[in-house]
Structure 1
Amino acid sequence: MAKVFITGSSQGLGLMTGQLLADQGHSVVLHARNETRAKEAKAPQATQWVIGDVSTLEAMRSVAEQANRFGPFDAVIHNVGIGYREPGRVETVDGLSQLWAINVLAPYVLTALISKPKRLVYLSSGMHLGATSSLDNIQWSKRRWDGSQAYADTKLHDVLLTFAVARHWPDVLTNAVSPGWVQTRMGGPGANDDLDQGHRTQAWLAVSDDKDARTTGGFFYHKQPGRVNPVARDVALQDRLIDYCREVSGVTLP
């Protein structure tokens, strides 16, 4: 039996992943933005909760501290994220784009501060294929807001983070996943991908003993290697993102 921590798991794919793993007999620790969301979640019985809005650096540190009390973990699934329909740029108390802080910086900080697990899974998106490779003005403070583009960029950053961690931590099986465009609250009613498949790959990568799941530095879609933006393999770009995350957070990846 594995112990798995899943961020952003009070609803949607994160909660579905937690339920699937619990049904398989694994121990899950879930994460909610606040106590209300945790109480309202239709979570597996005996679920342990970590609480915190990871749009702020203070909360990211708190979430990591809480998670470590339940650890160590066999796997951590970085599922937390907000979507592409954000109407405008929202700035956090740390002066960062909220979209980027939640989708990219939170996975980085939590990766650095949570005791190293055996496996790591990061949620990306097929939209990363349309991202810009430039890391200039990541915070969208000097350009007109485009929610879809900003979201796509964060999903590329998640893949860059995945591949960087896979290089720096060869002893940890580290992979990224595109769940597809599915009808969750984030995906919206127009999504046409298979919702039943949306959560299975991350659960499989987190706990399966299948040879294909025991890999690292991969990008998956429905348990198969997915199409990845070739710029994500740029080691220099990966390290530039890691350096930037360290600079703005004050947290160093061990």
Structure 2
Amino acid sequence: MARIFITGSSDGLGLLAAKSLIAQGHRVVLHARNAGRKEETLQKIQGAEAVLTGDFSSLEETQALAEQVNQLGHFDAIIHNAGVYKASAQQIFSVNVLAPYVLTCLIQKPERLIYLTSDMHAGGRPKLEHFKTGIEQINYSDSKLHVLMLCKAVARKWKEVYANGVNPGWVPTKMGGANAPDDLQKGYETQVWLAVSNDAEAKVSGRYFYHQQVKSANPAADDTSLQERFMKLCEEITGVKFPEDGK
């Protein structure tokens, strides 16, 4: 039995992944943006170990959430599922980019890390020159490229952790819309599989998955010089340093 923490799990793919993992007998801690969303989540799901709260548009709340997670003890896997699409550039940057960086740095290191990205990352650009000035130039596609850059940097630096990115597809969630063409079940199965499976195919690192298959990603995600600049900028903006030794 594994213990998993899932960000952004009050609805959509995060909630579906949580329900699947709980049904398999795993211990799952959920995350909601605020107290109101927490109460809604508790009505939607049975058997969760806890529901933590924190608004990722706030650096202080993100840091506080990391402390809440650590107070609960060790987790075997963390699924960085939270994300926003129709939002301001500042919200997209804070929630999609800075929050997973900060949580990765501050939460006690698990055995597995899963980062939700998107096929739209393929059209994204690093735009690192806009991290401090001109944040309005960063869009959703860029943010999902940044998530994959983070994932691949973590995989390179923490050799003992399985860190992978997942494109869930364009699925009919609140974010994706009712007419989205991809399979909803397949939209959450890969992250569940990566979190708990002992299949050799799941015990890998630095990969980009779509429906349990490794796919090619935007080449910028694999550029180690870009990864290093990205990590340094995130540290400068948040004041949170990535623990290079993995401790």
For the aligned pair, the TM-score class normalised by the smaller chain equals: over 0.9
Query: Which is helix-richer, 1 or 2?
Result: 2
Answering whether residue 209 of structure 2 is matched by residue 220 of structure 1, we say yes
Structure 2 equivalent of residue 230 of structure 1: 219
SS at match of 1:180: coil
The runs of at least 4 consecutive aligned structure 1 residues that moved more than 4 Å come to none
| SS in structure 2 at match of 1:28 | strand
| 1:113 aligned onto 2:106 | yes
1:122 aligned onto 2:84:
no
RMSD: 1.4
Alpha-carbon distance, 1:185 to partner: 0.9
Task: Give how far 1:46 is off.
Answer: 4.1
User: C-alpha separation between the residues in 2 aligned to 1:142 and 1:129?
Assistant: 20
1:98 aligns with 2:87: no
Residue 239 of structure 2 corresponds to 250
Name the structure 2 match of 1:3: 3
Give the paired residue count.
Answer: 241
- 1:94-243 to 2 correspondences below 5 Å: 97-138=90-131, 141=134, 150-243=139-232
Greater alpha carbon shift after TM alignment, 39-48 vs 149-158: 39-48
SS at match of 2:97: helix
Describe the SS at the equivalent of 1:198: helix
Q: Which consecutive unaligned segments of at least 5 residues does structure 2 have?
A: none
C-alpha separation in 1, matches of 2:80 and 2:123: 21
Question: Is the CA contact (8 Å cut-off) linking 2:117 and 2:145 kept in structure 1?
Answer: yes
Residues 138-191 of structure 1 deviation map (CA, whole Å, 9 limit, x = unaligned): 367376x6xxx7000000000000000001100000000000000111111231
Normalising to structure 1: TM-score of the pair?
0.91
Amino acid of the structure 2 residue aligned with 1:47: E
2:22 match: 22
> Could you tell me the percent identity over the aligned residues?
50
* Deviation larger for 194-203 or 44-53: 44-53
Q: Unpaired runs of 5+ in structure 1?
A: 90-96
Distance in 1 separating the partners of 2:10 and 2:202 = 25
2: CA distance, partners of 1:233 / 1:227: 10
Q: Aligned to 1:181, what secondary structure does the other structure show?
A: coil
Cα contact 1:78–1:121 (8 A) shared by 2: yes
In 2, distance between residues paired with 1:242 and 1:142? 16
Superposition TM-score, scaled by structure 2 size? 0.94
Contact 2:22 2:48 in 1 (8 A): no
Q: In the alignment, which residue of structure 2 is the partner of 1:59?
A: 61
